[in-house]
């Protein structure tokens, strides 16, 4: 089944404790992206990647890092989480070929930073 | 000015009603347009792409007016299962980043 998976789905952590949220897709998509979704603010892009070893900042990259060592994986790293990073995080992927560019989203990771 | 703007609603309509959502975008060079649906606490999923000529998929009709930079979604014969948040999404003329509206909430009641 074609899908985007994220782990963990839920995480409660404390300020300053490094964490990684994994994202994996099995559709051989070139493009992958991370979003955060907050009430009243909608979906905002954190980082994206056009292919292996190619990453770029989105609208709200501060406090986050990403890597793209393999095509299928795009982990999101919070080196020193803070309470303002409490949010719902979505990973997404899409094919760069063709005109649709439909983005497929993972199920989301609900992060709480105390 | 936000790139994609939508009326947040909520829209409360009875089953069987017709409801329309509107969206405006600021970048006149935008190339692609979509409506995504998001159920509560779930991931967004593509509902339909929006083409210049307008397009229909069952009870759903999407329209694009490039001159006014305006996109619409019409839902006919609303079902309870249509209750969700509808996200207007626009892709610019460079790159593949999508700009999301904040969403319009729809509640269809019996």
Residue A24 CB neighbours (<10 A): 18
Q: Which residues of A touch B55 (CB under 8 A)?
A: none
- Kindly determine whether residue B96 and residue A105, on different chains, have CB atoms separated by under 8 Å: no
Peptide bond into A8 cis (omega under 30): yes
- Kindly determine whether residue B96 and residue A101, on different chains, have CB atoms separated by under 8 Å: yes
Residue A30 CB neighbours (<10 A): 16
d(CA A85, CA A64): 9
Nearest residue on chain A to B51, alpha-carbon basis: A100
For residue B1, the model assigns a pLDDT of 57
For residue B98, the model assigns a pLDDT of 85
| Residue ranges of A 24-63 with Cβ closer than 8 A to chain B | 31, 33, 35, 40-45, 48, 50, 58
Residue-wise pLDDT for B18-32, tens only, equals 999 999 999 888 888
Given B34, B45, B97, which is nearest A48 (Cβ)?
A: B97
Residue-wise pLDDT for B8-63, tens only, equals 889 999 999 999 999 999 988 888 899 999 999 899 999 999 988 889 999 999 99
Q: Is pLDDT above 90 for A75? A: yes
Given A31, A42, A107, which is nearest B103 (Cβ)?
A: A42
Q: Which residues of B touch A32 (CB under 8 A)?
A: none
Q: Is pLDDT above 60 for A70? A: yes
- Kindly determine whether residue B32 and residue A45, on different chains, have CB atoms separated by under 8 Å: no
For residue A1, the model assigns a pLDDT of 85
């Amino acid at each position: 089944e074609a899908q985007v998976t994220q782990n963990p789905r839920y995480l409660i952590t404390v300020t300053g404790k490094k964490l990684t949220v994994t994202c994996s897709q099995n559709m051989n998509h070139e493009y992958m992206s991370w979003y955060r979704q907050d009430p009243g603010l909608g979906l905002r892009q954190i980082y994206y990647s056009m292919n292996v070893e190619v990453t770029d900042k989105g609208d709200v990259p501060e406090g986050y890092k990403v890597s793209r060592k393999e095509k299928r994986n795009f982990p999101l790293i919070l080196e020193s989480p803070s309470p303002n990073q409490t949010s719902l995080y979505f990973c997404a992927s899409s094919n760069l070929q063709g005109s649709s560019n439909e983005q497929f989203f993972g199920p989301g990771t609900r992060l709480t930073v105390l | 000015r936000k790139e994609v703007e939508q009326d947040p609603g909520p829209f409360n309509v009875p089953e069987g009603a017709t409801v329309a959502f509107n969206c405006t975008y600021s970048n006149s060079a935008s190339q692609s347009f979509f409506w995504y649906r998001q159920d509560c606490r779930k991931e967004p999923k593509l509902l339909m792409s929006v083409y210049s000529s307008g397009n229909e998929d069952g009870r759903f009709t999407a329209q694009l007016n490039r001159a006014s930079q305006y996109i619409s979604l019409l839902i006919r014969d609303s079902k309870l299962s249509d209750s969700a948040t509808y996200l207007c999404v626009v892709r610019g003329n460079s790159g593949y980043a999508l700009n999301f509206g904040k969403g319009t909430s729809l509640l269809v009641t019996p």
